[in-house]
Amino acid sequence: MNTLGVALVGHAFMGAVHSQAWRTVGRVFDLPARPERVVLCGRRKDAAASAAARLGWRECSDDWKSVLMRDDVHIVDICTPGDSHAEIAVGALEAGKHVLCEKPLANSVAEAEAMAEAADRARRNGILAMVGFNYRRVPALALARSLVQQGRLGEIRQVRAHYLQDWLVDPQAPLSWRLRAERAGSGALGDLGAHIVDLAQHLVGDEIVAVSGSVETFVGERPLPDEPARRGRVTVDDAALFTARFREGALGTFEATRYATGNKNGLRIEVNGSRGSLAFDFESMNELAFYDGTDPADVAGYRRILATEPQHPYLEAWYPPGHVLGYEHTFVHELRDFITAVADRSTPSPDFAAGLHVQRVLDAVQRSAAQHSRWTPVLQGER
Amino acid sequence: MNTLGVALVGHAFMGAVHSQAWRTVGRVFDLPARPERVVLCGRRKDAAASAAARLGWRECSDDWKSVLMRDDVHIVDICTPGDSHAEIAVGALEAGKHVLCEKPLANSVAEAEAMAEAADRARRNGILAMVGFNYRRVPALALARSLVQQGRLGEIRQVRAHYLQDWLVDPQAPLSWRLRAERAGSGALGDLGAHIVDLAQHLVGDEIVAVSGSVETFVGERPLPDEPARRGRVTVDDAALFTARFREGALGTFEATRYATGNKNGLRIEVNGSRGSLAFDFESMNELAFYDGTDPADVAGYRRILATEPQHPYLEAWYPPGHVLGYEHTFVHELRDFITAVADRSTPSPDFAAGLHVQRVLDAVQRSAAQHSRWTPVLQGER
Amino acid sequence: MNTLGVALVGHAFMGAVHSQAWRTVGRVFDLPARPERVVLCGRRKDAAASAAARLGWRECSDDWKSVLMRDDVHIVDICTPGDSHAEIAVGALEAGKHVLCEKPLANSVAEAEAMAEAADRARRNGILAMVGFNYRRVPALALARSLVQQGRLGEIRQVRAHYLQDWLVDPQAPLSWRLRAERAGSGALGDLGAHIVDLAQHLVGDEIVAVSGSVETFVGERPLPDEPARRGRVTVDDAALFTARFREGALGTFEATRYATGNKNGLRIEVNGSRGSLAFDFESMNELAFYDGTDPADVAGYRRILATEPQHPYLEAWYPPGHVLGYEHTFVHELRDFITAVADRSTPSPDFAAGLHVQRVLDAVQRSAAQHSRWTPVLQGER
Amino acid sequence: MNTLGVALVGHAFMGAVHSQAWRTVGRVFDLPARPERVVLCGRRKDAAASAAARLGWRECSDDWKSVLMRDDVHIVDICTPGDSHAEIAVGALEAGKHVLCEKPLANSVAEAEAMAEAADRARRNGILAMVGFNYRRVPALALARSLVQQGRLGEIRQVRAHYLQDWLVDPQAPLSWRLRAERAGSGALGDLGAHIVDLAQHLVGDEIVAVSGSVETFVGERPLPDEPARRGRVTVDDAALFTARFREGALGTFEATRYATGNKNGLRIEVNGSRGSLAFDFESMNELAFYDGTDPADVAGYRRILATEPQHPYLEAWYPPGHVLGYEHTFVHELRDFITAVADRSTPSPDFAAGLHVQRVLDAVQRSAAQHSRWTPVLQGER
């Protein structure tokens, strides 16, 4: 069996989660190739070294560019903030490395376009690129997509997608990099909105073509992280709300917020079709609610499907029914699918083109917001 | 259309609820006869008079015996504490009045036997008697019974029936009549246990033949209601737990308690069969959870059926889907069924024989408890 | 005690529900005046006569105008479709009758303005007018309002209000009067959206000042009710989505739809404040979820409050804890509050000015929708 | 930092789960010693070899006895069926190895006694032994225990503990080793009942002193796994029901079953105290419901605590709030606590004495069942 050497860039929250997934995936799934955790890259050598020891990487580096030159590295996994995605991803693809890049793909449409073009070019040489929209790999949501594809919801009419967190409710919470546009690109919109845009399009099996959106910053200034007595300006949105039209006519409502007191990671999505409906909340991630409108009226009702049966996506490799999975398993599934795609030389999903489309939707939301929420096409040419 | 004159005995909580149902039933359902609220009986004339005015009864009386002699009274509805049920019910039946008697049928098996015999005799003259186990008339539970009868649960294996309240948690709660054996017969066992025994038998469509039970009084003395400085002895159970076998082999576990802090009227019942399961909690009384084991594994799950569709029992007369019903509507349904039975001269369900059987089950629980929870047959001859 | 003679106009669904409430309110609550069900008005005499008999009204009439002249009528309760509200209400107020008018107040802002003006004039003569936004009287929602008013949510940041039904999912459902603009004014927007606009403003204690909205008709033609072989055009919206700003800065998202398969009467509302949050779903109308952000982090969580305690609004008159209420009880509460206001000569809530404001919000949604969802002020002068 | 060499015996379901936990624990938690996965033992060399490769163990062996002689092995982790626990555990302890043994401790009280004695002797030499009741390490349940210990529930009155599975509902399911008394000891009682007995005692902080129990085998014969045309006798229980008394007076009801259609891993437990209540269901393992009876009545309600805050047990090492954990994480927590105890030479919890007590409770259930469910003391001397 082939070995795939992996370099991971970034070792904060996302880097740690990816590391756990890289350590686990080959122990649980039958893979077509064996991933090896070759090198962990960080900005500072000492921090990278201690992270590599802790997270189980053979080597460490503070120079991702040189890592791209290594023959024993086949995959570059990018877990840095969004402002460095484009440079690293394009560099890696040009160096002939497969790339897995955390979401959102980039901080701007221009960067995302460059990345998608690089991915296109690389694709011709058998080099693959994938965006890390991990929620697609929640088994309950993979099941949801499959039910839509089987036609069990009929024609899709409406989608309701909310991503509710509450970690900014306190006006004294510090001005982290996530609240500065130059690092994070946007606020709730890019961090949370990107997930629900991708997920909604994935579940419905259709693309958003236009949006009407609003963004809001509730607290304009916050204490600086290193100097709490001083305050700096918040340059991203706290909440983003938008309505969207899909190509085939479905209507979607979207909300991403960090001010929904009491909601910790409330990624909630509902899909209503002419024959049935689905509902999901990540806080109960092992459950999918499914309403089958073809059931006789006296026994119709939302079914709480506990998506832990061997018949459910990804579950054949795990535990007996009812022995539930958690957040981190979505990354294990993502890696399984990515490694499989790399081994097969098949296009992974979502690819960078999909990531670019999400970026364009987010951009259209910002453009709409700047124009009094006027309906705005996602592709400017379509205006 | 015939008129049925009604006399109601008792005007406390149950009397008020029945009054609301008598006022409503003919306004909502198409009935074969028209009930008239002729007379309300109480122990004290003045209280009965003001209750009659408030609750909408034409006359009042402090002498239920004389009321039994009236030609314009056809139905006697008994809403008094259990210690007077036997005398009133037997008297009414012997006077040729149809009887609706609140549960539990009586405070002892002997009384219940006398009542069932009187009902038998009356039945031969076309006079009917029914026990007021109102929870059978929750639409979601009527649907539950229908699903079991249709075979959608297959062979019934297990029943779990809990009736959880918490109004005695405070050790300073007063020693009301419900805590004295001479008035109430028993405590949680007769008050709450009677409901779940009836309901479980009704849903399963089978009879309990033996029990192993325990009863417990957590707080032995309480303040007297009228003299809080003095304390009196609690002579009934606070909680009763029992395991039961049904004739056809199903196993049931039952719990009735007034000490389940945080549970207000938690009548919960689950039925597990070889092909499916049901679950219900009265605190969400419009919902029935139904698991259809014949669904494909990937889409099987407990369905939350909102039992408010026109196809559901009793709902044809009420509101559009989702416009939920409440506790009091179960009594309206009970009256509809009772009036229909009276008009048809068909045996109402549950009749006094069913009420007697419940009483025998409760008695067997007490006998078992007195014998270290030894399994005890419900019918002593079957021991 | 004074008697208040009532005339009810309309005896379809709403008329029946109001009748049940008129029959019940004085039996349950201590009222300052005694309502009498004097006369039921309908368009056809025979239908009105049979409805009056069934629903318990002393007389019937097919001429509401003459009823306004009667001295024994003090209250006119309007349960007709929206297109006749203005004429009846203005007539009644001018005739010196107190008016309870079902929502939405009218089919247009112009009508609503005329009604609010008539109400203003009548108010000076001690004649009162109220709009029937019954959901304010759900005990759990009355509690919700009280918690916001006590400051337990802090500063309100966001509101999420959905009213989800599914009775139009079937494209063969007939073209009822509710789907024709000339009768109904609008579709989901006026029927469902009016409720959530009123409720959100009521809970937040603030007014919506601007909206960005979209409306959608998914199925453009439907069979005529009386001639199913022919189809007519649907002239109202099937779904309405809008974002709203409140005067004090809160953001709201609203959705009213008749296409949310599996949702029967899913009036759901969430309010997020700086100190806490609330969540409610009418399908479980006895429950309020309350998150208290001041709880210590280890025990903070949404509380499921079963709003059936004697401490909860309206509950002192009803049943013991856990003996849940239903849809119809909200009307009983509405009548209690209306009768109390009439007896006190105090302004009932919501008055016609509040109803007019709701109407203006709905109108602004339609104007915004006609302008590519551009943000639109509710008061045109504020533009 | 010290290294602790680990030998794992058994590589089926439990062995795989433990392996994942051994691989993970040091990557996530700061440990006082470094565990090394030295050797995996199985009955057959080839199977052990491939399991070792897959699960990440350096070596494999088909001779656990010789492994006990190795100096580089400090911990023996026993994941075999119950009939071999005693021999391996006693052997390992006598060889000076720390032991982690899967539950139930043994198949009989006699074996468990021998193990507890061996653990006592080893304890004097600083050698430690722990039983693998992993559910104690669900963060929500560790929080539950802490709330009880803080007195937030007051005096404990009642416990309701159910462990509901459904994998035997099909009468054609094969006669696996779990259905044969000689391998498994008992059926649902030992497999599922052991968990809820340990958990209930752990949460309440008290011991069960007497039980009244019943056991039931619904399907008496099943197809042989290797020869489906032939049937063999099921020699264990399918369901076990029992009532229990705790030393301090609390009452518990317990049910373990493999016939609860639709329940996959429904470990549900409720605790009612004089000041509050708790409720938990493993199928939603990240949630704890807590009712605080000292809350004002108008805002009292079961709180859904999402036990993913940094303030919650074990969570400081994991992900941000709302990024939920799964079944396998309970084993990571178990290993952290075990390694910590080993490094500190402190007694791990639950130790073998606790495991023995659970065994005695299960044995008392069987003895009670054999005596018509008569109340039976757990310690025979106390009879």
Tens of pLDDT, residues D105-158: 999 999 999 999 999 999 999 999 999 999 999 999 999 999 999 999 999 999
The tokens describing D98, both together, are: 């720390």
Show which of D135, D162, D188 is a domain's final residue. D135
**Residue pLDDT, tens place only, B79-138:** 999 999 999 999 999 999 999 999 999 999 999 999 999 999 999 999 999 999 999 999
- Checking if the pLDDT of B382 tops 90, the result is no
Tell me if chain B has a CB within 8 Å of the CB of D374.
Answer: yes
D325 lies in some domain: yes
pLDDT number for residue D182? 87
Amino acid letter, D5: G
Q: For C107-168, list the strands marked E by DSSP.
A: 129-132, 156-164
Co-location of A101 and A225 in the same domain:
no
Q: At what angle do helices C139-149 and C194-204 cross, to 10 degrees?
A: 40
- In eight-state DSSP terms, residue C82 is G
> What average pLDDT does this structure show over A175-189?
91
pLDDT number for residue D383? 44
Give the number of other CB atoms < 10 A from CB of residue C238.
24
CA of residue B42 relative to chain centroid, distance: 21
Chain-chain contact of B375 with D373 (C-beta, under 8 angstroms): yes
d(CA A341, CA A330): 17
Residue C129's CATH number: 3.40.50.720
Chain-chain contact of D24 with A20 (C-beta, under 8 angstroms): yes
Q: How far is CA B37 from CA B7, B25, B64, C56, in A?
A: 7, 12, 15, 14
Chain-chain contact of A298 with B309 (C-beta, under 8 angstroms): yes
Co-location of B240 and B293 in the same domain:
yes
Give the number of other CB atoms < 10 A from CB of residue B85.
27
Provide, as residue numbers in chain A, all residues whose Cβ is less than 8 Å from the Cβ of D27: 19-20, 23, 54-56
| Whole-number percent of chain B with pLDDT over 90 | 96
Chain-chain contact of B320 with C167 (C-beta, under 8 angstroms): yes
Give the closest-approach CA distance of D12 to chain B in angstroms.
24
| Whole-number percent of chain A with pLDDT over 70 | 99
pLDDT number for residue C383? 45
**Residue pLDDT, tens place only, D318-370:** 999 999 999 999 999 999 999 999 999 999 999 999 999 999 999 999 999 99
C383 lies in some domain: no
- Checking if the pLDDT of C381 tops 70, the result is no
pLDDT number for residue B381? 63
Chain-chain contact of C301 with D297 (C-beta, under 8 angstroms): no
Chain-chain contact of D253 with B251 (C-beta, under 8 angstroms): no
Chain-chain contact of A324 with D320 (C-beta, under 8 angstroms): no
| Whole-number percent of chain B with pLDDT over 70 | 99
Cβ-Cβ contacts under 8 Å for A209 (sequence gap 6 or more): A245, A246, A247, A377, A378, A379, A382
How much is the mean pLDDT over chain B? 96
Burial of C69 (0-12, 13-18, 19+ CB in 10 A): exposed
**Contact assessment for residue C234 and residue C199, using Cβ atoms and an 8 Å cutoff:** no
Provide, as residue numbers in chain B, all residues whose Cβ is less than 8 Å from the Cβ of A304: 301-304
- Bridge-based pairing of strands C2-9 and C33-41 is parallel
B289 lies in some domain: yes
How much is the mean pLDDT over chain A? 96
Co-location of A93 and A176 in the same domain:
no
> What average pLDDT does this structure show over C360-377?
97
Residue B319's CATH number: 3.30.360.10
Co-location of B114 and B262 in the same domain:
no
Give the number of other CB atoms < 10 A from CB of residue B94.
13
**Residue pLDDT, tens place only, B33-45:** 999 999 999 999 9
d(CA B28, CA B161): 32
D169 lies in some domain: yes
**Contact assessment for residue B380 and residue D220, using Cβ atoms and an 8 Å cutoff:** no
**Residue pLDDT, tens place only, C275-317:** 999 999 999 999 999 999 999 999 999 999 999 999 999 999 9
Give the number of other CB atoms < 10 A from CB of residue B193.
30
Sheet holding C33-41, edge to edge: C59-61, C33-41, C2-9, C75-78, C98-102, C129-132
Show which of A101, A135, A169 is a domain's final residue. A135
Cis status, amide bond into C223, omega within 30 of 0: no
- Checking if the pLDDT of C128 tops 50, the result is yes
Tell me if chain B has a CB within 8 Å of the CB of D276.
Answer: yes
pLDDT confidence tier of residue B261, bands split at 50, 70 and 90: very high
Domain of C6 in residue numbering reads as 2-133
Cβ-Cβ contacts under 8 Å for B200 (sequence gap 6 or more): B159, B161, B208, B244, B252, B254, B269, B271
**Residue pLDDT, tens place only, C188-246:** 999 999 999 999 999 999 999 999 999 999 999 999 999 999 999 999 999 999 999 99
Helix or strand (DSSP H, E) at C340: helix C329-344
Nearest by CB to D297, which of C296, C303, C311? Answer: C311
**Contact assessment for residue B255 and residue B241, using Cβ atoms and an 8 Å cutoff:** yes
- In eight-state DSSP terms, residue C295 is S
d(CA C215, CA C362): 11
Q: What is the ipTM of this complex?
A: 0.96
User: In this structure, what are the phi and psi dihedrals at residue A168, rounded to the nearest 5 degrees?
Assistant: -110, 5
Chain-chain contact of D312 with C298 (C-beta, under 8 angstroms): yes
The count of domains in chain A is 2
**3-state SS, one letter per residue, for chain D:** CEEEEEEEECCCHHHHHHHHHHHHHHHHCCCCEEEEEEEEECCCHHHHHHHHHHHCCCEEECCHHHHCCCCCCCEEEECCCHHHHHHHHHHHHHCCCEEEEECCCCCCHHHHHHHHHHHHHHHHCCCCEEEECHHHHCHHHHHHHHHHHCCCCCCEEEEEEEEECCCCCCCCCCCCHHHCHHHHCCCHHHHHHHHHHHHHHHHHCCCEEEEEEEEECCCCEEECCCCCCCEEECCCCCEEEEEEEECCCCEEEEEEECCCCCCCCEEEEEEEECCEEEEEEHHHCCEEEEEECCCCHHHCCEEEEECCCCCCCCHHHCCCCCCCCCCCHHHHHHHHHHHHHHHHCCCCCCCHHHHHHHHHHHHHHHHHHHCCCCCEECCHHHC
List the beta bridge partners of residue C77: C8, C100
Q: Which of residues 211-230 of D touch C (CB under 8 A)?
A: none
pLDDT number for residue B285? 98
d(CA A236, CA A184): 8
Co-location of A155 and A286 in the same domain:
yes
Provide, as residue numbers in chain C, all residues whose Cβ is less than 8 Å from the Cβ of B319: 13, 17, 327-328
Residue corresponding to tokens 């009528």: C73
Co-location of D156 and D44 in the same domain:
no
pLDDT confidence tier of residue B383, bands split at 50, 70 and 90: very low
- Checking if the pLDDT of C380 tops 80, the result is no
Co-location of B34 and B69 in the same domain:
yes
Name subunits touching D (3+ CB pairs < 8 A).
Answer: A, B, C
**Residue pLDDT, tens place only, A239-248:** 999 999 999 9
pLDDT number for residue A382? 55
- Bridge-based pairing of strands A276-281 and D208-216 is unpaired
Tell me if chain C has a CB within 8 Å of the CB of D302.
Answer: yes
CA of residue B165 relative to chain centroid, distance: 16
pLDDT confidence tier of residue B314, bands split at 50, 70 and 90: very high
pLDDT number for residue A192? 97
C377 lies in some domain: no
Cis status, amide bond into D104, omega within 30 of 0: yes
Q: How far is CA C219 from CA A98, C172, C174, C235, C261, in A?
A: 47, 9, 11, 10, 15
Co-location of A75 and A153 in the same domain:
no
**Contact assessment for residue D272 and residue B260, using Cβ atoms and an 8 Å cutoff:** yes
A354 lies in some domain: no
Tell me if chain A has a CB within 8 Å of the CB of C158.
Answer: yes
List the beta bridge partners of residue D319: none
Nearest CA in chain D to A303: D262
pLDDT number for residue C340? 97
Give the number of other CB atoms < 10 A from CB of residue A297.
12
pLDDT number for residue A370? 97
Co-location of C75 and C52 in the same domain:
yes
Burial of A302 (0-12, 13-18, 19+ CB in 10 A): buried
D333 lies in some domain: yes
Residue B317, SS3? helix
Name subunits touching B (3+ CB pairs < 8 A).
Answer: A, C, D
pLDDT confidence tier of residue C185, bands split at 50, 70 and 90: confident
Show which of C82, C116, C133 is a domain's final residue. C133
pLDDT confidence tier of residue A1, bands split at 50, 70 and 90: confident
Q: Which of residues 318-357 of B touch A (CB under 8 A)?
A: none
Co-location of A26 and A92 in the same domain:
yes
**Residue pLDDT, tens place only, A247-266:** 999 999 999 999 999 999 99
How much is the mean pLDDT over chain D? 96
Give the number of other CB atoms < 10 A from CB of residue D141.
24
The tokens describing C35, both together, are: 């309502």
> What average pLDDT does this structure show over A279-303?
97
Give the closest-approach CA distance of B274 to chain D in angstroms.
6
Residue corresponding to tokens 């030393």: D247
Co-location of C45 and C187 in the same domain:
no
Chain-chain contact of A260 with C158 (C-beta, under 8 angstroms): yes
Co-location of B311 and B212 in the same domain:
yes
**Contact assessment for residue C221 and residue C168, using Cβ atoms and an 8 Å cutoff:** no
pLDDT confidence tier of residue D28, bands split at 50, 70 and 90: very high
Cβ-Cβ contacts under 8 Å for C382 (sequence gap 6 or more): C209, C210
C333 lies in some domain: yes
Give the closest-approach CA distance of C288 to chain D in angstroms.
9
